[in-house]
Every structure is written in structure tokens, then in C-alpha cells.
Amino acid sequence: MPPSTVWSTLAFDAFSAANRKSTSPENAIGERAAIQLAVRIGAELVLIDEREGAAVARSMGLAVTGTLGILDLAAGRGLLRLHDAVERLKTTSFRCRPEIMDALLARHAGKSNEEQ
């Protein structure tokens, strides 16, 4: 069996085990697919917001970030205005603890709009 198939199988098995403890295993389909794809293509970073999925990915040696991490990186590189992006994000189904979003905004508050 090729190494990518082995890792994909391990990702599936690890995620299945984690989801037996989860209250919403149907939500794990996307995270499982992201992990399998990241392993298959040798991704340097995988985007997963869900805690259990991120834990499984990290346990497999993958670097993980979430939506806010991507926005943080993009704002730091001057690719977007963080405040505007966060305001748009608030209109979606995305959820996180308010203090996390506040800390991210505070970290970028001193930067000019051109830098954000």
C-alpha cells in the first residue's frame, strides 16, 4: 500500500475514533477529508476550525490553523483589512469565543489600514 494510502487510512481511523466521542459525527466529514488531502499532497498547513479535527491532524504531525489564523496571516501581509474581514465573518455561521476575536483585532489595531 502506498504511504499516502496508509496515512489516509490512518487519518480516517483516527477521525472515526475521535468522532465516537463527538456529539456531531456528521460534521467530521469535512475535517476528515481535509486531513486526508493534506496527507496525500504533503501540505505544509491544514485549515481546520473544529477542535477535535485539529487535534487529530496535530496528532498526525500536521500543522494546523483555523479561519482566524488565516485572517491573521493575511492581515499581517497586508492582503486584507482585518476589521472588515472580521465584520464580514460575523455575518456567517462561523463561531468562536469573543475574546479570541477581540485579541486578534487588538494585535492588529495599531496598524494602519494600508497595512491591514
Task: Tell me the pLDDT tens digit for each residue of 73-89.
Answer: 999 999 999 999 999 99
Distance of CA 15 to the CA centre of its chain: 15
pTM of the full structure: 0.69
The answer on 54 and 16 residing in a single domain is yes
**Residue 5 reports pLDDT greater than 80:** no
- pLDDT value at position 47? 94
- For 18, the domain range is 3-65
Q: Could you give the C-alpha distances from 110 to 16, 41, 87, in angstroms and in order? A: 44, 38, 18
Number of domains in the chain: 2
Condensed to tens digits (0 to 9), the pLDDT of residues 22-55 reads 445 555 788 889 998 999 999 999 999 988 899 9
Share of the chain above pLDDT 70, in %: 72
99 domain-assigned: yes
